[in-house]
Amino acid sequence: MLEVRELEVAYGPIRAVRGLGFAVPPGQVVALIGANGAGKSSTVRAIAGLLPRRGSLRFEGKPLPAAPEAVLRAGIALVPEGRGILQRLTVEENLLLGAATRRDRARIGAEIAAQYERFPILGLRRHGLAGLLSGGEQQMLAIARALLARPRLLILDEPSIGLAPKLVEQVFRLVEELRATGLAILLVEQKARQTLRIADHAVLLETGRLRAAGPPAALTADGLLAKAFLGEGGAAG
């Protein structure tokens, strides 16, 4: 579905990502893991068109556009680190923004209602300001907003940051539920052990380069890898 080859991302003279290549197959969860500063967020932001990039990116066999709105129209939605909620708008106004690129306006209301069923707290607070939601509720809103774009590939960048353990478990269950619908997911996470338990494939970055890739079991079986990047309590993102 998504093919990334020789991806290069730089901040001025600093090369954050160097010659990276990996793929996200349809209907699978691919985990992008690595220590802080490994280039994970730079990678997904470049895919989403939020950072300049070089290299070959193809989505469903076609070159991936570089502009954010064009990437979204192509079928890739990003839930950014920090959630990106517009706090002075209501919950429902944020959701409507998620569907802004769609042309089938008649179906949007029904799909917003479906998100309220998936996340009941959002339905209860639909007319309240998004900035008054808790961190976990804002994460639900960010995911629901992205789903309203009807993506075929959903990118989640550190969705568990700042959440209580119970809410973290809910996020991981949601990822599994979304995969079951056929949605492909590229997941960047600081909680590497939990991520590898639900991922179909894992890509490990080190200082902007590909260190290892393969089935999660193969990566976790490498004792050196576990010690260097997962640690005793899970890796940093």
Summarised one tens digit per residue, pLDDT across range 117-172 is 999 999 999 999 999 999 889 999 999 999 999 999 999 999 988 888 888 998 99
Query: What pLDDT does residue 227 have?
Result: 53
Residue 194 pLDDT grade (very low, low, confident, very high; cuts 50, 70, 90)? confident
Query: What pLDDT does residue 225 have?
Result: 58
Exposure pattern of 111-144 as b/e (b: 16+ CB <10 Å)?
Answer: bbeebbebbeebeebbeeebeebeebbbbbbbbb
Percent of the chain with pLDDT over 70: 93
Q: Three-state DSSP class for 65?
A: coil
Residue 175 burial (CB count, 10 A): 24
In terms of Cα–Cα distance, which of 58, 70, 79, 34 is closest to 219?
Answer: 34
pTM recorded for the entire structure: 0.90
Query: What pLDDT does residue 231 have?
Result: 47
Distance CA 154, CA 177 (A): 13
The pLDDT of 107-113, averaged and rounded, is 92
Highest mean pLDDT among 110-114, 207-211, 223-227: 110-114
Tell whether the model's pLDDT for residue 116 goes beyond 60: yes
Domain 2-85+137-230, CATH homologous superfamily name and number: P-loop containing nucleotide triphosphate hydrolases (3.40.50.300)
The pLDDT of 84-111, averaged and rounded, is 90
Percent of the chain with pLDDT over 90: 66
168: left (phi over 0), alpha (psi -120 to 50) or beta: alpha
- Compute and round to an integer the Cα radius of gyration of the chain: 17
* Max Cα distance, the chain (Å): 54
Tell whether the model's pLDDT for residue 33 goes beyond 70: yes
Are the C-beta atoms of 62 and 219 separated by less than 8 Å? no
- Listed by start position, the domains of the chain span 2-85+137-230
Residue 92 burial (CB count, 10 A): 19
Query: What pLDDT does residue 20 have?
Result: 96
Query: What pLDDT does residue 91 have?
Result: 97
